[in-house]
Amino acid sequence: MKDVDPKRFIEVCKEELKRVEKIKPPSWAKFAKTGMSRKFPPKQEDWWYTRAASILRRIYLDGPVGVQRLRTYYGGRKDRGHKPERFKKSGGSIIRKCLQQLESAELIQKSQNTKKKGRIISEKGKKFISKILSEVKK
């Protein structure tokens, strides 16, 4: 995973996730901002699939991760006018819905480890990612 370009991986993974029936953006997705630090909703039509692909990559790289760690990862600086900027976490609803959809597609699963809670890549997810990695390396 670390040998391939992340942007290229996410682009190929996004196209593959569009073919998965269980991963669909909700009706409110075209109006929603992705966090407090954003002024407008995303301009891309298929940003939901891009975020799902990025979340899948993050879970693969970071092991068991939950919504809170992903909120911190996707957060950004909030423009507060003349006051100094501050870091704000991303919205949790989008991340939670993406995780639920990836879980229903059986690409990820909840960790069985009691000490480290969060989601991890399932066996089906490992096959899915290895197929994409082989395609990206070509």
CATH code for the domain of 17? 1.10.10.10
Is residue 1 a part of any domain in this protein? Answer: no
Q: Are 102 and 57 in contact (CB under 8 A)?
A: no
Is residue 111 a part of any domain in this protein? Answer: yes
How many domains is the chain partitioned into structurally?
1
Q: Are 22 and 100 in contact (CB under 8 A)?
A: no
Amino acid residing at 22:
K
pLDDT tens per residue, the chain (138 residues)?
Answer: 888 999 999 999 999 999 999 999 999 998 999 888 888 989 988 999 999 999 999 999 998 999 999 999 999 999 999 999 999 999 999 999 999 999 999 999 999 887 888 999 999 999 999 999 999 988
Is residue 79 a part of any domain in this protein? Answer: yes
* pTM over the 0.85 mark: yes
Domain enclosing residue 107, as ranges:
6-137
Is residue 13 a part of any domain in this protein? Answer: yes
Is residue 31 a part of any domain in this protein? Answer: yes
